[in-house]
Structure 1
Amino acid sequence: MKEMKKFILSTSIIKGIIFYDESRVSRLIEDFVLHIVGPIREEKPDILFFSTKTDGIWDEKNPLVQIRLSYDYEESQKKSNKARDYQELKTYKSESPDRPGARCPFGYSKLSQDKKDHTLIENDDAPIVQFIFYLYSFGYSDKKIALLLNESNVKSPSLESNWSDSTVRYILNNLWYAGDLVWFSRSSYENSKAKPIEERFLFPNHHKRLISPQLWATTQFLRSKKKNKDRMDSPFVLRDIVLCVKCERKLAVKNMTPAKAKKNYQYYYCKTCKRKINLEELHSYVFDDFTGRWGRELNNQTRTIKGIYSEWKKTIEAKSAENKSNVDKLRYKLSFVKPENEFYEDIKESFTLQIKSVEEERTKLLNVLEQIRVLSEYGEPLELISRFKEDIYKYNNEEKRSIFLIAIKEISIDFIRKNFIEINYRLTPFVEVETTIDKLNNKKDEVSI
């Protein structure tokens, strides 16, 4: 409709417009008149409008036209309410919520041709989905994965076109593969951008997951890194995790290699104290330490990870209980404020905002707690950890970068002590959960101090 309006305003040959139904622009009464008819009449007052539902020239000021628009609006509202009631019945008012009536996710087919049976089962494309997640967890971009699939003649979800980075991205963001059912994901009817996860209707563990929780957690962490335009194929595979001890700042990177030089002059450097360390020197130390550590501690890591999960649960449960108690206290204090108080509305708004903030934090904590529960029940992340024991030198830059991001928390360099290097390894490969726990523990330490 907008394209039609644009075309009409750009040409002088059109004398009249015939349309089928003035109420089809949207569910609002005024949209067609305000956004289509109005601008056209203003620019071209001689253009005539005709409707297949009205005899003669169509006039928005005609009482019969206005009555019809009002009637169509009421009918549209009834249909909208009916659709909403159906969605509620099939989601949070149902013991076994159904999936929205849409095309099956790639890798799944309907179990039955019965329209009322929405049960889906894995099909022959399911391994392709798993392969996509696997490649991404090793640092490969959406674009490179799509290119590989096309070169391998793997059929795409649309069948009529090739794989694209957007298709790969859609699969990697689809919670269905993690075993969850999601409703109301779009920001709005006009905006297809996904809402934050806490604002969607989420039904966890709705069906058997196709992607393990360990692999899902890894890919989602790497997606968050790439949102900041992280170049996984850069030779600086340790950037953003190397810290200057003196300045307490992350080191920047610089490639000073001349165009025809036989030797590379690549450095990690501190912008504050101007000290630097050669890429090869730093990489050689870190790679060797990494190889030695995982050769010694791999078996011990798989044994201790359950204990780590247990400690994480205790930390989250304690903070969640604290948040609940704080909400109760805020509501109790608010109950003593009298409505006749001249500042009642301001005080009420202040308390309401505090309560909302604490409740949102508690919701996020409960989501993390659920993630820990799923991870612990699924067993040790053997596939992820087994990557660490392979020869790190054999991996390409993307693969090295992905491994170091999930294995190393921070590398500290003391330039004053002749480039003394200290590596702080992560407890598990699950970066986002561990980061949440670290933040909670740091807050606890700040309070105790």
Structure 2
Amino acid sequence: MNMNNKSKGIESNQHVLTTKIKEIIAQTVHNLMHPLDFYLVSEIENPLLKPAIGYIRYSSLKQKDKYSVDIQKQEILQRAKEEGYYILLWCVDEAVSATHNRAIDRPWMQVLYQTALLDEFQGAIFFYDDSRISRQTSDFVLQVYKPLVMLRPYLKFYCSDYSGVWDPDDVLTQIRSLINSHKSEELRNKTLAYQSTILKLEQRPASHLPYGYIKGTENKPKIDVSNGQAYVVFLIYYLSSWGYSNKVIAKFLNACKIRSPKGTDWTQGTIDKILHNYFYLGHTSWNVRESRNNSKRKPIGQFELFPGTHTGIVPHYLGVLVDQIRNFKSTYGQKMETPFLLKDLLKCVQCDCVLEAKNTTSGKSNSSRRVYRCNSCKEFIVIDTIHEITFQQLFSYLSINHKQMFEGSKKLLNKWKENLKKQSKEIDKDKEYVIFLERTLDYELIGHEQELKQEANLMLSELQSIQEKILHLEEQIDILLEDENLETLFNNFFECKHEALSQTELRCFTLHFIKEIKYDFKTKKPAIEFSKTPFLTLEGWGKLTTN
């Protein structure tokens, strides 16, 4: 009877413990890579054994299918059994570097830490070897071990590759920790040296190829059309070039049952990564992120970019259009899915004010009443009226001026290219002048040697950054000046019919070709100023470089 009561007490305690562990996992780990029962054991094989936590870690995705987890599991299970424990919870940090991630920053180490502090947990912690918990010599000891032992003095740690309780103050343990740290640093230095050598040869260092590519020959990746991934990448760029948001594109792909690169549903972030990856345009980029812990992209000129290193999935004209849409969204707002197709383009002739897009539909009305309204004179025009007039004129204008716009764009692009070259030469002169001043200033009289040198270096860095942007733009113009690319770009628009375009596509179309519409409320007539060319992103640079 006493044994039955004891058994029931153990089961009750385990139920409370597992419930709390589930809550910790839900709050700490956002994307489980396996079902919950992979981590949390539901049944006790032997009630006499005490519960314990097993910690497993591997650094790279390359190790995922190499039995790393299974090997660590078997060793930990054997050691736990020898010490009189069973593993209740497996904390598995997969593809998590211990060199770049402190112990307490790893998600499953956080689960381990919080679980060990539960009153219901009276067990121990097991791991495979010292390198699994740390490669920074002291982070695990200072952030996990010492705080836990101070709050739970009975808590014991075991390493599966040697006997006895694990002790961070033991000389052999400290030696192993130093060796692990040294190995990690040595490997890091070798990797950086290899990457630097390969980049100097303008080749892509060995790394995971982007979605849509497979290994080819002679260091040249090959476009993968076997499972349709390359077509998906092209579709993403195409939809984005027509103004569709990342959210809409992700929703569309999910509705089509197309899986993301990770085999899961598409998200806005996944779409964004593909649209910002120069690899799809045939270029190799490296060190694009601010840092390992900061995923913000560096601006062009601050990371390595090697153009034309391989065959791109996305044609250059499509990349130009996607950049242009990005520029439109920055200027006119992120939302392209709007019934106000002429928002921020209409101006009142009498007041010289931009008309406000306004929904004046009353709450009781069954019909919609959207208008463009002048906040100064209070005059307004219903959107359907001005849209009909505008699009009739726009498509008529494009039909008549197709050839003239094509030839005019070529001339304008060549003019911008000349201006960019002149600007680059001027920057060369500015750089020489800064270097001359830095060398000839009498620092002893001024007394600010260090400050002036830093200022000179900063100016040189800024001038170099501008020059690299100009060079990148020159390359874009050269690509567009190829007749095939330019003609494809124009046909992308001129073959369109008004009735076949969605609201988003019409908004996009409008921003490409209309610079401004001045509406006269007295005569009830608009005066449309058309853009000289659809290359508005480049047009801004063209104006900038004419000064």
TM above 0.5, one fold?
yes
Inter-CA distance 378–101: structure 2 relative to 1 (3 Å threshold): farther
Quote the Cα distance in structure 1 between the aligned partners of 2:145 and 2:349.
67
- 1:425-440 to 2 correspondences below 5 Å: 425-440=530-545
SS at 1:194's partner residue? coil
Checking the alignment, whether the CA contact within 8 Å between 1:22 and 1:32 is kept in structure 2 is no
Quote the Cα distance in structure 1 between the aligned partners of 2:216 and 2:424.
41
Residue in 2 that maps onto 1:397: 503
2:225 pairs, out of 113, 116, 123, with: 123
Rg bigger for which structure? 2
Inter-CA distance 117–370: structure 2 relative to 1 (3 Å threshold): closer
Pair 1:343-2:448 in alignment = yes
The more displaced of 12-21 and 342-351 is 12-21
Quote the Cα distance in structure 1 between the aligned partners of 2:376 and 2:162.
75
Residue in 2 that maps onto 1:279: 383
Residue in 2 that maps onto 1:138: 242
Quote the Cα distance in structure 2 between the aligned partners of 1:26 and 1:422.
69
- 1:260-409 to 2 correspondences below 5 Å: 261=365, 263-271=367-375, 274-340=378-444, 341-377=446-482, 379-386=484-491, 387-388=493-494, 390-409=496-515
Quote the Cα distance in structure 2 between the aligned partners of 1:438 and 1:51.
67
Residue in 1 that maps onto 2:78: none
2:324 pairs, out of 214, 221, 227, with: 221
Checking the alignment, whether the CA contact within 8 Å between 1:384 and 1:429 is kept in structure 2 is no
**Equivalent pairs, count:** 434
Inter-CA distance 379–396: structure 2 relative to 1 (3 Å threshold): same
SS at 1:236's partner residue? coil
Output the amino acid matched with 2:312: R
1:44 pairs, out of 147, 152, 158, with: 152
Residue in 1 that maps onto 2:204: 98
Output the amino acid matched with 2:337: D
Pair 1:237-2:341 in alignment = yes
Quote the Cα distance in structure 1 between the aligned partners of 2:187 and 2:153.
35
1:169 pairs, out of 272, 277, 280, with: 272
Inter-CA distance 22–432: structure 2 relative to 1 (3 Å threshold): farther
Shift, 1:319, TM fit: 1.4
Checking the alignment, whether the CA contact within 8 Å between 1:277 and 1:419 is kept in structure 2 is no
Quote the Cα distance in structure 1 between the aligned partners of 2:260 and 2:487.
30
Quote the Cα distance in structure 2 between the aligned partners of 1:26 and 1:245.
69
Shift, 1:131, TM fit: 2.6
The more displaced of 352-361 and 50-59 is 50-59
Checking the alignment, whether the CA contact within 8 Å between 2:135 and 2:177 is kept in structure 1 is no
Gap regions ≥5 residues in structure 1: 445-449
CA deviation vs aligned residue, 1:64-110 (integer Å, no higher than 9, x gap): 3333322222211110011111111222x21x5135321x4333333
Shift, 1:368, TM fit: 1.2
Checking the alignment, whether the CA contact within 8 Å between 2:479 and 2:485 is kept in structure 1 is no
TM-score (norm 1): 0.85
Checking the alignment, whether the CA contact within 8 Å between 1:99 and 1:118 is kept in structure 2 is no
Residue in 2 that maps onto 1:18: 126
SS at 2:311's partner residue? coil
Residue in 2 that maps onto 1:206: 309
Inter-CA distance 393–49: structure 2 relative to 1 (3 Å threshold): same
Residue in 1 that maps onto 2:288: 185
Quote the Cα distance in structure 2 between the aligned partners of 1:42 and 1:430.
65
Of structures 1 and 2, the one scoring higher in RCO (CA 8 A, sep 6+) is: 1
Checking the alignment, whether the CA contact within 8 Å between 2:302 and 2:465 is kept in structure 1 is no
The more displaced of 307-316 and 333-342 is 333-342
RMSD: 3.0
Checking the alignment, whether the CA contact within 8 Å between 1:23 and 1:32 is kept in structure 2 is no
Shift, 1:151, TM fit: 4.0
